[in-house]
């Protein structure tokens, strides 16, 4: 991932150490120290300042990169809204990790889901190859003068960040051809003074939100186009709204984001061998949310099971709620909360989710609960 | 604001600051001294609100505001971007904040900016409370001042704590320059901004700026009120270079603090309370001794 970030030639990098993100910024620092990357690295004193620093550097006209996880992303959250509101195409890699308390360094997706409303493009990688591709490809969309919105590439902490996989790292020459130097339509420049971050009264604020919403709608159309361009150049279709895996005739379709999709594909393959019509719908672009593509992909499905590695406590999983809002009411849809705080989602877990999806509807079923450690009054549930 | 207004000025009238606003006067001096080749970052606060209501701006230089606590971090990013582009020579980067955005919520980002050695001048406009939100106590509120969150009353003589010594906190980072100034002496602000901008590295300048609304003082007397703060020893005008006190403005015959306090409603409760008044006098006496003002 550091290699992918480096290929995009960021001029300013600011990040604060947090597990499991840290080695991305460590590697970038080493590239700079070794003269392999012409960039300035700012060792900020917090994630809040990391995000603020890249906000400033991007506004001054330089491509800027940051990365974080969990508490760090949440500490940044105030600035994340601001970066999008100021229409600055900052790039952020989020190594997805659970949120405190209790403190937990392992993977789930609660952190990025918690900032889903900030106005950022949010893409989820299934494996390290996709992480590399999405980092490079999303720059092109974010920096398009018609877009000018920040992008967050979400990679499951440890599972991907500390996983060893053989990946194809594109050639610098090819990336340079795909991604031209950052040339923003506006920047901080004494030759042409502009004010950034003005007070937006009730007379103008609503329109700023409408504009972001409208742009994210356009991004929905751009992702397949730029994805195709990326595929033509690098041979992989990693940048796409969704991936439909054996969904054409599937009666039961699971929906998920990130690395768990790899496990689900294995289960789908083995169940297909037994003649079960199951499939996977992988969401790559969570923001913007591809409602139409999802609806179309679920055409044949009778049973839908949505796996959330997050929960809107007091309600349901975030992905479940959003999928439910776009599908027709004749389909059975269930929501499953799994893998929180790094609990393994094994093939057996996925099989259980498939079985449950075919039974009665559930909106928010916790999978793999260890009832032995629950408080007494919850054990009956 | 029309373009021609900006031809000579980097900060122009037409904004919505209150009458007698010390901060607005100080900003004009800072910006015009720094000149056109300046990029300013700004914390949330009065200045940001009254100078930059969309679609207007009183600033004739590139200006950026994002949040309350991150003016120093945003300026760090701007400066780093300029260095990366090879454009830093000849462009000043100034980070601005009020006293809350400096001494309280912005302190961490400021300390980080100073420690990392960014070539940025941080200017704190010190009006000694959260004025934008309605005169709440900050870490920079002086001892015994009555604010809406440190009100005087039967059991209170106002703010129970002394001002946070920001100029020394910054100087303790052993930065090239850390100084105070006051709208009492506009020329002093100009000299210090010029001096600071000639130095490469992190600089801190804190300017005492009366807020007639929050201090409950006569808007036509802002400069005089600020003068009395200096003349009584309650607002020491000092300069630190690389951590050492190198200059302090002498006051040969300090005035009694009551001459400063009586001009402001925020200190009115002290005037009939000899003990409380004596305690404020002690603050001034200590300043005079500690900073060598005599």
**How far apart, in Å, are the Cα atoms of A344 and each of A36, A348, B203, B273?**
38, 10, 51, 69
Examine the domain organization and report whether A305 and A216 are in the same domain.
no
The last residue of one of the domains, among A234, A263, A282, is A234
Examine the domain organization and report whether A285 and A204 are in the same domain.
no
- Structural domain harbouring B17: 3-290
Q: What is the pLDDT of residue B167?
A: 98
pLDDT tens digits, B124-136: 999 999 999 999 9
What is the torsional sign of CA B18, B23, B26, B31?
A: negative
- Bridging pattern class, strands A285-287 and A121-124: antiparallel
The last residue of one of the domains, among A234, A267, A298, is A234
Q: Which residues in A have their CB inside 8 Å of a CB on B? A: 11-12, 14, 38-40, 42-46, 48-49, 52-62, 64, 78-79, 82, 86, 188-190, 192-201, 204
The last residue of one of the domains, among A234, A265, A292, is A234
Summary mean pLDDT of chain B: 96
Task: Please check the confidence at residue B1 and state whether its pLDDT lies above 50.
Answer: no
> With contacts defined as CB-CB under 8 Å, which chain B residues touch A197?
42, 48, 52, 64-66
Mean pLDDT of A338-354: 98
Q: Which of B39, B47, B80, B89 to mutate to test the interface with A (most CBs of A within 10 A)?
A: B80
CATH number of the domain that residue A311 is part of = 3.40.50.920
pLDDT tens digits, A131-159: 999 999 999 999 999 999 999 999 999 99
pLDDT tens digits, B235-290: 999 999 999 999 999 998 999 999 999 999 999 999 999 999 999 999 999 999 99
At which residue do the structure tokens 């010190």 appear?
Answer: B126
Task: Please check the confidence at residue A82 and state whether its pLDDT lies above 50.
Answer: yes
Q: What is the pLDDT of residue B8?
A: 77
Of the two residues A333 and A371, the one the predictor is more confident about is A333
* Residues B43, B49 contacting (CB under 8 angstroms): no
Examine the domain organization and report whether A255 and A220 are in the same domain.
no
What is the torsional sign of CA B163, B164, B167, B172?
A: positive
Q: What is the pLDDT of residue B5?
A: 66
What are the tokens at B225? Answer: 């009120």
* Residues B116, B77 contacting (CB under 8 angstroms): no
Q: Which residue of B has its CA nearest to A63?
A: B81
pLDDT tens digits, A240-250: 999 999 999 99
Examine the domain organization and report whether A224 and A293 are in the same domain.
no
Region of residue A32 (left: phi > 0; alpha: psi -120 to 50; beta: else): alpha
Alpha helices in chain B (DSSP H): 22-34, 46-51, 71-85, 99, 107-116, 166-171, 186-198, 212-215, 222-232, 258-261, 274-290
Structural domain count of chain A: 2
Examine the domain organization and report whether A178 and A94 are in the same domain.
yes
* Residues A291, A285 contacting (CB under 8 angstroms): no
pLDDT tens digits, B245-260: 999 999 989 999 999 9
> With contacts defined as CB-CB under 8 Å, which chain B residues touch A200?
54
Q: How many CA atoms lie within 13 A of B208 on its CB side?
A: 27
Size of chain A, expressed as the number of residues it contains: 381
Mean pLDDT of A30-40: 97
What are the tokens at A284? Answer: 């790559």
What are the tokens at A100? Answer: 């405190």
CATH number of the domain that residue B224 is part of = 3.40.50.970
- Structural domain harbouring A355: 242-378
CB contact under 8 A, B84 and A57: yes
Q: Which of B6, B39, B84 sits opposite A62 (nearest CB)?
A: B84
Q: What is the pLDDT of residue B4?
A: 65
Q: How confident is the model at residue B210 (pLDDT cuts 50, 70, 90)?
A: very high
Examine the domain organization and report whether A131 and A212 are in the same domain.
yes
Q: How confident is the model at residue A379 (pLDDT cuts 50, 70, 90)?
A: confident
Structural domain count of chain B: 1
Examine the domain organization and report whether A227 and A247 are in the same domain.
no
Which one, of A110, A117, A161, A94, lies nearest residue A337 by Cα? A110
Examine the domain organization and report whether A360 and A228 are in the same domain.
no
Q: Which of B39, B73, B115 sits opposite A188 (nearest CB)?
A: B39
Contacts of A319 (CB under 8 A, 6+ apart): A255, A256, A257, A283, A286, A306, A307, A308, A310
Task: Please check the confidence at residue A65 and state whether its pLDDT lies above 70.
Answer: yes
Examine the domain organization and report whether A322 and A230 are in the same domain.
no
Q: Which of B77, B120, B122 to mutate to test the interface with A (most CBs of A within 10 A)?
A: B77
Q: Which of B49, B81, B86, B120 to mutate to test the interface with A (most CBs of A within 10 A)?
A: B81
Examine the domain organization and report whether A189 and A250 are in the same domain.
no
pLDDT tens digits, A174-211: 999 999 999 999 999 999 999 999 999 999 999 999 99
Q: How confident is the model at residue A101 (pLDDT cuts 50, 70, 90)?
A: very high
> With contacts defined as CB-CB under 8 Å, which chain A residues touch B73?
44, 48-49, 52-53, 56
Q: What is the value of ipTM here, to two decimals?
A: 0.96
pLDDT tens digits, B161-177: 999 999 999 999 999 99
């Amino acid at each position: 991932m550091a290699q992918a970030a480096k290929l995009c030639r960021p001029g300013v990098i600011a990040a604060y150490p947090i597990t499991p993100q840290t080695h991305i910024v460590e590697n970038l620092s080493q590239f700079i120290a070794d003269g392999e990357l012409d960039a300035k690295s700012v060792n900020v004193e917090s994630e809040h300042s990391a995000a603020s620093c890249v906000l400033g550097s991007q506004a001054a006209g330089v491509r800027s990169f940051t990365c974080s996880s969990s508490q760090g992303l949440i500490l940044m959250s105030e600035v994340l809204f601001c970066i999008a509101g100021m229409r600055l195409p900052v790039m952020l890699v989020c190594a997805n990790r659970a949120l405190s308390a209790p403190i937990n360094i392992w993977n789930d997706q609660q952190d990025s889901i918690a900032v889903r409303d900030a106005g950022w493009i949010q893409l989820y990688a299934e494996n390290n190859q996709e992480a590399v591709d999405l980092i490079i490809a999303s720059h092109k969309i974010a920096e398009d003068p018609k877009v000018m919105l920040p992008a967050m590439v979400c990679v499951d902490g440890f599972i991907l960040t500390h996983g060893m996989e053989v990946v194809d790292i594109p050639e610098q020459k090819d990336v340079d051809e795909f991604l031209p130097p950052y040339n923003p339509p506006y920047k901080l420049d004494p030759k042409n003074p502009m004010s950034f971050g003005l007070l937006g009264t009730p007379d103008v604020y609503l329109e700023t939100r409408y504009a972001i919403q409208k742009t994210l709608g356009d991004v929905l159309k751009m992702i397949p186009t730029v994805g195709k361009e990326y595929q033509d150049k690098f041979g992989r279709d990693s940048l796409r709204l969704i991936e439909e895996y054996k969904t054409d005739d599937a009666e039961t379709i699971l929906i998920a984001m990130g690395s768990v999709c790899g496990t689900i594909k294995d289960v789908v393959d083995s169940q297909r061998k037994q003649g079960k019509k199951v499939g996977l719908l992988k969401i790559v672009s969570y923001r913007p949310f591809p409602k139409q593509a999802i609806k179309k992909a679920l055409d044949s499905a009778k049973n839908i099971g949505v796996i959330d590695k997050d929960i809107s406590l007091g309600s349901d999983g975030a992905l479940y709620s959003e999928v439910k809002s776009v599908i027709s009411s004749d389909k059975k849809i269930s929501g499953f909360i799994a893998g929180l705080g790094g609990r393994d989602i094994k093939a057996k877990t996925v099989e259980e989710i498939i079985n449950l999806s075919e039974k009665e509807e559930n909106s928010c079923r916790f999978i793999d609960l260890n009832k032995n450690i629950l408080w007494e009054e919850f054990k009956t549930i | 604001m029309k373009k021609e207004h900006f031809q000579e000025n980097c900060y122009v009238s037409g904004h919505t600051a209150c009458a007698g606003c010390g901060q607005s006067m100080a900003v004009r001096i800072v910006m015009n001294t720094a000149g056109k080749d300046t990029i300013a970052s700004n914390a949330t606060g009065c200045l940001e609100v009254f100078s930059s209501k969309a679609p207007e701006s009183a600033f004739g230089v590139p200006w950026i505001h994002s949040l309350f606590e991150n003016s120093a971090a945003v300026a760090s990013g701007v400066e780093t971007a300029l260095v990366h582009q090879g454009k830093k020579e000849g462009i000043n980067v100034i980070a601005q904040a009020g006293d809350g955005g400096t001494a309280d919520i912005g302190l961490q980002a400021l300390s980080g900016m100073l420690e990392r050695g960014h070539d940025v001048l941080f200017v704190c406009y010190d009006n000694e409370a959260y004025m934008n939100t309605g005169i709440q106590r900050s870490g920079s509120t002086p001892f015994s001042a009555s604010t809406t969150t440190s009100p005087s009353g039967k059991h209170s003589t106002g703010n129970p704590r002394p001002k946070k010594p920001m100029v020394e906190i910054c100087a303790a980072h052993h930065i090239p320059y850390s100084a105070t100034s006051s709208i009492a002496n506009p020329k002093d602000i100009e000299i210090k901004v010029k001096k600071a901008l000639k130095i490469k590295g992190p600089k801190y300048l804190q300017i005492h700026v009366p807020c007639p609304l929050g201090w409950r003082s006569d808007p036509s007397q802002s400069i005089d009120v600020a003068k009395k703060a200096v003349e009584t020893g309650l607002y020491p005008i000092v300069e630190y270079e690389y951590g050492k006190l190198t200059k302090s403005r002498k006051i040969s015959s300090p005035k009694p603090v009551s001459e400063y306090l009586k001009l402001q409603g925020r200190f009115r409760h002290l005037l009939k309370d000899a003990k409380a008044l004596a305690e404020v006098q002690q603050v001034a006496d200590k300043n005079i001794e500690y900073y060598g003002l005599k």
